[in-house]
């Protein structure tokens, strides 16, 4: 990697490669995709007329699917695939569920059966990585909860939420003129399936349907860095979120998964590790924790040594803490907005 220099915008583009609606290639690229749609809203009594309806206005898009993946999936009769409109939808049944909660369960069950069937027939390679973890589908405004097995999120291209923790310490005994901030940066295990050996956020993981952001944070901090739950709860500070629309490359899961679409949102926490609190690898996913100055971290980012979405979390940290500024970074305004992409669902 020596000599390779990436800009912050290059790093963002690697993680947020899906085009924007005002860009030239947007129409061409989206014309090849299928929209995964759920019924927009459960309205109770006045909902009867909508049962089984195919009216596009009564649906909301919650994911983007590759046409090649739509071809792989052995669709069950709970789904309606429209090759003309390029949509994959779950209509509500003409009889059955009568509340928002029941509708959410009906849709969750339909998705689970569909993914289990595709997995059993081994039709969709990424489903070999079945996780037994449920994620919530975002973009529904009526409060009903629809769940999807984690391994299916890249199949349907739904927006998934995770938590990224940026850990730091303050070094005592330095001169006034010296910067006392140090960042805790793990190197991923060389045997890890995705992004082996790359540098990472201090702690990170996906938020399951059963937990909230703090629950996820506390669990991951213990699993990945052996940090005590009470300490983490007392010292983690909410610090915003990053969002991006990832198009998977080889490093994310091998050649069979290239091109899968993964819009994602990562909720950020800053976590100061005070004297005597040190992260330790525990679940075998981390090879070692480095304690780097901001300047070392910036150099590592520019050399492309960080996992793509972790690059974004650290860039956001460096912006929030005044290291990357409008004075020293020509793309400042563009990269601040690119770190917070508005996802449509």
Which of 151, 161 has the CB closer to its own copies?
161
Distance of closest approach, residue 129 Cβ to its own copies, in angstroms: 26
Which of 110, 239 has the CB closer to its own copies?
239
Cβ atoms within 10 Å of 327's Cβ, excluding its own: 7
Distance of closest approach, residue 12 Cβ to its own copies, in angstroms: 11
Distance of closest approach, residue 61 Cβ to its own copies, in angstroms: 9
Distance of closest approach, residue 277 Cβ to its own copies, in angstroms: 19
Q: Which residues bind its own copies (CB under 8 A)?
A: 20-22, 138, 161, 212-214, 237-241, 243, 265, 267, 319-322, 324-327, 332-333, 336-344
How do beta strands 261-272 and 160-170 pair?
A: parallel
Which of 162, 253 has the CB closer to its own copies?
162
**Helices and strands in the chain, H and E counts:** 11, 12
Distance of closest approach, residue 45 Cβ to its own copies, in angstroms: 25
State which H helix or E strand residue 12 sits in: helix 8-15
Cβ atoms within 10 Å of 20's Cβ, excluding its own: 12
Q: How many angstroms separate the CA atoms of 288 and 296, rounded?
A: 16
Distances in whole angstroms, Cα of residue 257 to Cα of each of 137, 154, 252, 253:
21, 9, 8, 6
Q: How many angstroms separate the CA atoms of 138 and 147, rounded?
A: 9
Distance of closest approach, residue 201 Cβ to its own copies, in angstroms: 17
Q: How many angstroms separate the CA atoms of 60 and 141, rounded?
A: 10
Which of 289, 317 has the CB closer to its own copies?
317
Q: For residue 223, give the 3-state DSSP assignment.
A: helix
Distance of closest approach, residue 114 Cβ to its own copies, in angstroms: 26
Distance of closest approach, residue 72 Cβ to its own copies, in angstroms: 27
Which of 65, 319 has the CB closer to its own copies?
319
Which of 22, 77 has the CB closer to its own copies?
22
Residue 262 contacts by C-beta under 8 Å, 6 or more apart in sequence?
153, 154, 157, 160, 245, 246, 247, 248
Which of 60, 124 has the CB closer to its own copies?
60
What is the Cβ-side half-sphere exposure of residue 326, based on CA atoms within 13 angstroms?
1
Q: Token pair for residue 206?
A: 């996906």
Which of 115, 216 has the CB closer to its own copies?
216
How do beta strands 261-272 and 80-82 pair?
A: unpaired
């Amino acid at each position: 990697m020596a000599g390779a220099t990436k800009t912050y915008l290059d790093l963002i583009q690697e993680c947020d490669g899906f085009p924007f609606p005002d860009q030239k290639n947007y129409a061409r690229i989206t014309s090849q995709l299928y929209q995964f749609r759920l019924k927009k809203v459960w309205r109770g009594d006045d909902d009867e007329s909508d049962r089984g309806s195919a009216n596009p206005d009564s649906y909301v898009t919650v994911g983007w699917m590759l046409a090649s993946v739509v071809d792989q999936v052995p669709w069950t009769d709970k789904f309606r695939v429209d090759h003309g409109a390029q949509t994959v939808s779950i209509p509500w049944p003409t009889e059955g569920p009568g509340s928002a909660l029941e509708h959410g369960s009906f849709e969750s069950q339909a998705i689970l059966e569909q993914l289990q069937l595709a997995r059993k027939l081994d039709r969709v390679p990424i489903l070999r990585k079945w996780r037994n973890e449920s994620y919530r589908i975002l973009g529904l405004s009526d409060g009903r909860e629809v769940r999807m097995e984690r391994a299916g999120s890249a199949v349907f291209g739904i927006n998934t939420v995770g938590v990224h923790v940026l850990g730091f310490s303050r070094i005592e005994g330095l001169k006034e003129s010296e910067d006392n901030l140090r960042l805790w940066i793990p190197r991923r295990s060389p045997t890890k399936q995705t992004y082996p050996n790359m540098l990472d956020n201090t702690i990170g993981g996906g938020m399951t349907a059963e937990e909230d952001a703090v629950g996820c944070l506390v669990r991951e901090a213990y699993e990945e860095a052996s940090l005590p739950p009470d300490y983490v709860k007392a010292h983690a500070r909410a610090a915003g979120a990053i969002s991006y629309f990832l198009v998977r490359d080889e490093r994310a899961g091998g050649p069979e998964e290239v091109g899968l679409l993964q819009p994602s949102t990562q909720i950020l926490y800053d976590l100061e590790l005070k004297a005597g609190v040190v992260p330790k690898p525990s679940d075998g996913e981390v090879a070692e924790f480095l304690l780097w100055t901001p300047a070392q971290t910036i150099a590592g980012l520019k050399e492309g040594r960080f996992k793509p979405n972790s690059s974004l979390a650290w860039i956001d940290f460096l912006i929030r803490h005044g290291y990357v500024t409008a004075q020293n970074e020509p793309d400042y305004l563009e990269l601040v907005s690119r770190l917070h992409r508005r996802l449509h669902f």
